[in-house]
Amino acid sequence: MDTQPFASGLSENAVLVTRVADRQWHALEDDLVVGRGHALRRPDGRLFVSIDAWHDVAFDRLAEMMVAHLPAPLYTVVDEADAELTAGWRRAGFTVRRREWEYAVPTDPRVTGLEGVLPPPGVTIVPAGQADENLLREVDRAIRDEVEATAGWWQSMPAEVVPRTEGDTVVDPSKYAVAAAPDRYLGLIRVVTAIRPRIGLVAVRAGERRRGIARALLAHALVTAHRSGYTTAWTEVHESGHAATALFEGAGARPVSSNLELVR
């Protein structure tokens, strides 16, 4: 257990930061817990930190202790509208690595303009739960390799935080609908529905883009959600994802918030 004092300037008492468990810290002032810090290593190997504190002094002391005792690089995610939290992490030496917009996407085809949208000739949409797992994993791996060879940002995607067996990039095959040619899959869309449907991924092989396949996959996913009684789906789009932005905004999606991934 690590305990170190830090004069808060708010009272005659010091802020004490104590490691209470592996990758967990508490900040105490006058025997009261005034802040908590936590670190979590995600399945992609990156170490993410979070702090919930009553005031800046507790936040800064927790951040100082965590940075000192955890291996770099460290990551965190904040709502960009939370200026106070963002400022706290910046004081701790974190900088913006990526910005991602969250969109609310209507599902009614009369609103999206996707009513009657079909894939190009020779391509069919295989609904979620009906895809061949071997072909699904093949197209997923191929698209990932294409992205890493060009943009190189796949590993930074928030969707990559879900638990999975090492080396298996398809977490739950039942969540994927695919665009199929007679001999292989050309694209995929992943929708996870808990409280509401969330579109975690829409992707098409590089040589098959600009044929309307992504639009057909999106139309299928939104119509499926609409038939299940959902009026809105949700998704996140990286600020540099101009094609994805155009795809979703073309279907009437509207940005509702933005998240920042920070790194030190």
pLDDT in tens, 36-89: 999 999 877 899 999 999 999 999 999 999 999 999 999 999 999 999 999 999
pLDDT computed for residue 126 by the predictor: 97
pLDDT at 4 over 80: no
Does 185 or 8 have the greater pLDDT score?
A: 185
pLDDT computed for residue 172 by the predictor: 87
- pLDDT tens for each residue of 148-175: 766 555 454 444 444 445 555 677 899 9
pLDDT computed for residue 44 by the predictor: 73
Query: What number is the average pLDDT over the span 1-29?
Result: 70
pLDDT at 12 over 60: no
Structure pTM?
0.76
Q: Which residues of 80-98 are buried (b: 16+ CB within 10 A; e: fewer)?
A: eeeeebbebbeebebeeeb
pLDDT computed for residue 42 by the predictor: 83
Contacts of 58 (CB under 8 A, 6+ apart): 8, 15, 27, 29, 34, 35
Least confident of 63-72, 166-175, 179-188, 220-229: 166-175
Question: Is the Cβ–Cβ distance between 247 and 101 less than 8 Å?
Answer: no
When the candidates are 3.30.70.270, 3.10.20.30, 3.30.450.40, 3.40.630.30, the CATH number that belongs to 101-259 is: 3.40.630.30
pLDDT at 192 over 50: yes
Does 77 or 8 have the greater pLDDT score?
A: 77
- Domain 3-98 belongs to what architecture? 3-Layer(aba) Sandwich (3.40)
- pLDDT tens for each residue of 98-129: 899 999 999 999 999 998 899 999 999 999 99
Q: How far is Cα 28 from Cα 14, in angstroms, rounded to an integer?
A: 8
- pLDDT tens for each residue of 198-213: 998 899 999 999 999 9
pLDDT computed for residue 233 by the predictor: 96
Question: Is the Cβ–Cβ distance between 33 and 27 less than 8 Å?
Answer: yes
Please choose, from the candidates 101, 112, 78, 142, the residue with its C-alpha nearest in 3D space to the C-alpha of residue 221. 112
Using only C-alpha atoms, what is the Rg of the chain?
A: 22
